[in-house]
Structure 1
Amino acid sequence: MPFITAGAARRAVAPLTAMLLLALAACGSATTATTAAAPDAEIDSDASHGHNQPIPTTEADWKPVTDTLGRTGTFGDNNTVYRIPLPRTDLHVTSYGVAIKPGLSLGGYAAFAKYRDGVVLMGDLVVTETELPKVTDALQAHGIEQTALHKHLLQQDPPVWWTHVDAISGNPTVLAQGIKAALDATAIPPAAAPSGPQPPVHLDTAGIDKALGRKGTADGGIDKFTIARAETLTDDGHVLPPTFGVTTGINFQPVGGGKAAINGDFVMTAPEVQKVIQALRKGGIDLVEVHNHSFTEQPRPFYMHFWAVDDGVTLAKALRPALDATNLRPAT
């Protein structure tokens, strides 16, 4: 299957649909007869509702991708999504005097999933302002769409941008080559080997867990929460598992004395946006960005980045009403 951008795939649907409707109108009686003659034909219920489910895969399926990128990833959502981390461990970014750790807000990624009609790529690349034009040119030259460009932090030095990418192809190597070209336009370092046990998180993590009603995970000295939405999200008919990045993420970075810098991303539907803003501001949490990550997701999600520095448990209590204002999966 040749390379097809996500936008081209969407544009191809309209004429095909029109042709199908004309054919059905002309041959309605014949279609009915054929259906009646084959009552035992297998029907894909997901496809009949326009939902294209991801297919479970193995490491071997993604070897062309890992060979091209020189990096490996991990599986999520029952081996349907293969996600390769692309953190900016080379950057030394500060915001309001806080030295930002990669795990707080500098963690890019590229995620791949196989569907009946090809391999879907979605990701988020962290690039400096000087790298951005070259990254854009590399992505465009390889047919990979940029679906968002924004910031995760307010005041920052050096200036850093986040760009979301989206594409579909029958050949995963083609997608990997496009990402590789974009990475070559940056100073993103090669994949690092595991560095042993996780460092301690110097915060009252038990108190934070209790306030949020969920248990966090230690990651590079950061206390992290990743929470999926309760409903199923789709993009151009493809079901999007949470590992693609359609989740609410809340990160606590210790800054000393029990205090934390918080940064992350709420995923919301339109009716939830103002409720989350109001809840965050009531808790003294700053709003950074409101934006989309893609073009055709349903139900239409919006994403909101935030920032604050305060006692970790106090911030968790302030975040809880904002979480409760969105339709998230229950805590396990």
Structure 2
Amino acid sequence: MVINVPAADWTILTEPFIASAHAQTIDWQKVDDTLGRKPAVSGDVRRYGFSRSDLTVTVDGVAIKPALALGGWVAFKPMHGGAMVMGDLVLLDTEIRPVMAKLTEGGLEITAVHNHLLRANPATFYMHVGGQGDPLKIAAALHDALAASKTPLTASPASSPPAIDLDTAQLDQVIGVKGKNNGGVYAFAVPRRDPVNEAGMALSPAGAMGVAQGINFQPTGGGKAAITGDFVLTGEEVNPVIKALLSNGIEVTALHSHMLEEQPRLFFMHFWANDNAVKLAKGIRAALDKTASGKS
């Protein structure tokens, strides 16, 4: 996700995005202040959440919790005296154009725009972004872009998440990794066994950088759950995973890329179902078994 600009324009971006990043130690407190929130820190990655808590979105009669499918994020990973940034912003259709304009004006790249869900009311879209350079300048560009939408720019006070009304121990056993309560949604991050690189940088930790299989369960009562998320797949894994999901009653809702220069080439497959949670977990496990993903 290197910022690509014509040679004549390189000097325009050099000072704000590159030179100053090399000239000083990163002041992460200023980045936090610019983005209006504290990050979740995993290894050397700082991941900032931008939940669309302002939206009321339903799919097939299910009110979607922000953590299920409306949790935008941006992750910063230090590199070459500055940082690599990548993320996923949740937007309404009317917000796409102004946010994209601000991002590109700020020197960031748009790496994908697409849906994750079907039949969402209102429809939601997901804009993936990337870039490299001075973290504070990048943070300012992100803030200005998000200000062109109705994304809340002030983080909500931390509070205890609601209890998960599911047999989480059984879900952990079936999926093969331990999930966590993320705002009332039981969330799994299943890493791939093979490393993923972008612009010569290893995207690790995989979960923080958006390259782990993301599986989310939102309780809908009576042991049922609405599930969505995304599989991270190489080309040869795509159709075996589609077949495994469909044969287990899980709908495939999107298939697309998120990045531009990743190695190996990856595809992201989003899905949806609302049924018995353990049954769906077994279907997800069957699909995971078609991938080069860890099971611990």
CA separation of 1:117 and 1:231: change in aligned 2, threshold 3 A: farther
- Asked if 1:296 is matched to 2:292, the reply is no
Match of 1:281 among 246, 261, 264: 246
Letter in 2 for 1:235: E
Matches within 5 A, 1:81-160: 81-116=45-80, 118-160=82-124
- Asked if 1:187 is matched to 2:150, the reply is yes
Q: Number of residue pairs matched?
A: 276
Q: Which residue of 1 aligns with 2:136?
A: 173
Letter in 2 for 1:221: G
Structure 2, unmatched stretches of 5+, are 8-24
Counterparts of 1:209 and 1:180, CA distance in 2: 37
Aligned-partner SS, 1:6: coil
Aligned-partner SS, 1:187: coil
Counterparts of 2:59 and 2:181, CA distance in 1: 22
Q: String of CA shifts for 1:287-329, please: whole Å, max 9, x gaps.
A: 0111111110001111000000100001001111111111113
Contact 1:227–1:249, Cα closer than 8 Å, also in 2: yes
Q: Which residue of 1 aligns with 2:226?
A: 261
Query: Deviation of residue 213 (structure 1)?
Result: 2.1
Q: Which residue of 2 aligns with 1:218?
A: 181
Counterparts of 2:184 and 2:107, CA distance in 1: 37
The runs of 4+ residues in structure 1 deviating greater than 4 Å are none
Q: Tell which structure's C-alpha radius of gyration is larger.
A: 1
Letter in 2 for 1:64: K
Query: Deviation of residue 118 (structure 1)?
Result: 3.1
Matches within 5 A, 1:243-258: 243-258=208-223
Query: Deviation of residue 7 (structure 1)?
Result: 4.1
Counterparts of 1:228 and 1:178, CA distance in 2: 30
Counterparts of 2:177 and 2:106, CA distance in 1: 41
Q: Which residue of 2 aligns with 1:33?
A: none
Q: Which residue of 1 aligns with 2:38?
A: 72
Query: Deviation of residue 151 (structure 1)?
Result: 1.1
CA separation of 1:240 and 1:115: change in aligned 2, threshold 3 A: same
- Asked if 1:8 is matched to 2:4, the reply is yes
Q: Which residue of 2 aligns with 1:238?
A: 201
State the superposition RMSD in angstroms: 1.6
Letter in 1 for 2:34: T
Identity %: 45
Q: Which residue of 2 aligns with 1:45?
A: none
Counterparts of 1:153 and 1:173, CA distance in 2: 33
Contact 1:64–1:172, Cα closer than 8 Å, also in 2: no
Contact 1:250–1:262, Cα closer than 8 Å, also in 2: yes
Q: Which residue of 1 aligns with 2:165?
A: 202
Counterparts of 1:194 and 1:266, CA distance in 2: 29
